[in-house]
């Protein structure tokens, strides 16, 4: 497995959930992590945990739907460290009113902008550096809904996450010759704060049977430690008790 010591990773959506767990796991393996998200306070909390365990973390608050701000953060990372080895596109959201009869035009736009456009902006920000390095890994955190359309997640989220999977494969098609690899990570239900945005949040008993944040953190670390010759194009991971199968 690859040694991550001294490498630099940028994690969006790092203030909670999958992003926070991924950042902590990567830092624990020796990677310097840059944490981005819309709110500074939770990012500082994650950074403090990382530093308390001997890791290195910096905070860059960011709304990934702001293309100019994304470019600025990418430039600052390069200026500060001179390299970007890993991008984890974990920023994302959904809305309570998500069905066809409930979703609004603004609601649709907000989901697509955060889940698809924001990931694209971040990819664009790191690709020039990764091309120059002839090396780099991008992990696009999609969803089970990115490979299996779901009424539960709604049309906007399903469409955005399918778009992320397609975007991810286009990266591999065009950028593999530059030594750049991309993985669309597609988890089933994960017990994270985004569950509170559902029209009917799941019961605690159901949450305990879902994938947990640390499971996805371990998965991101596994992908990051694969040798540069290995590209995991798409990884679908689900809870053993998969409600898509049992309901």
Q: Which of 157, 167, 210, 238 is catalytic?
A: 157
Burial zone of 179 (CB within 10 Å; 0-12 exposed, 13-18 middle, 19+ buried): middle
Collapsing DSSP to helix, strand or coil, 59 comes out as strand
> Is 157 an active-site residue?
yes
- CB atoms under 10 Å from CB of 214, counted, come to 13
Q: Which of 182, 191, 181, 186 is nearest to 219 (CA)?
A: 186
Q: Which of 190, 195, 194 is nearest to 237 (CA)?
A: 190
- Kindly list the distances between the CA atom of residue 118 and the CA atoms of 141, 169, 178, in Å, as whole numbers in the listed order: 12, 17, 23
Collapsing DSSP to helix, strand or coil, 138 comes out as strand
Are 6 and 32 spatial neighbours (Cβ–Cβ below 8 Å)? Answer: yes
Q: How far is CA 218 from the centre of its chain?
A: 13
Active-site residue numbers? Answer: 157
């Amino acid at each position: 497995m690859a040694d991550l010591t001294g490498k630099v990773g940028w994690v969006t959506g790092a203030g909670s959930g999958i992003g926070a767990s991924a950042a902590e796991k990567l830092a624990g393996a020796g990677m310097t992590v840059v944490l981005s998200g819309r709110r500074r306070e939770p990012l500082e909390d994650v950074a403090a945990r990382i530093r308390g365990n001997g890791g290195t973390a910096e905070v860059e608050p960011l709304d990934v739907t702001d293309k100019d701000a994304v470019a600025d953060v990418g430039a600052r990372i390069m200026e500060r460290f001179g390299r970007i080895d890993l991008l984890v596109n974990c920023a994302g959201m959904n809305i309570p009113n998500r069905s066809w009869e409930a979703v609004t035009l603004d609601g649709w736009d907000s989901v697509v902008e955060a889940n698809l456009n924001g990931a694209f902006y971040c990819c664009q920000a790191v690709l020039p550096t990764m091309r120059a390095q002839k090396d780099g890994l991008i992990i696009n955190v999609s969803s089970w809904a990115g490979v299996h359309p779901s009424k539960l997640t709604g049309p906007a989220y399903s469409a955005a996450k399918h778009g992320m999977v397609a975007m991810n494969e286009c990266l591999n098609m065009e950028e593999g010759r530059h030594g750049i690899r991309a993985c669309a990570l597609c988890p089933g239900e994960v017990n994270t704060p985004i569950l509170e945005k559902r029209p009917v949040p799941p019961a605690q008993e159901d949450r305990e049977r879902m994938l947990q944040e640390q499971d996805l953190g371990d998965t991101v670390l596994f992908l990051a430690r694969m040798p540069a010759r290995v590209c995991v194009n798409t990884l679908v991971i689900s809870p053993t008790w998969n409600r898509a199968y049992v309901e």
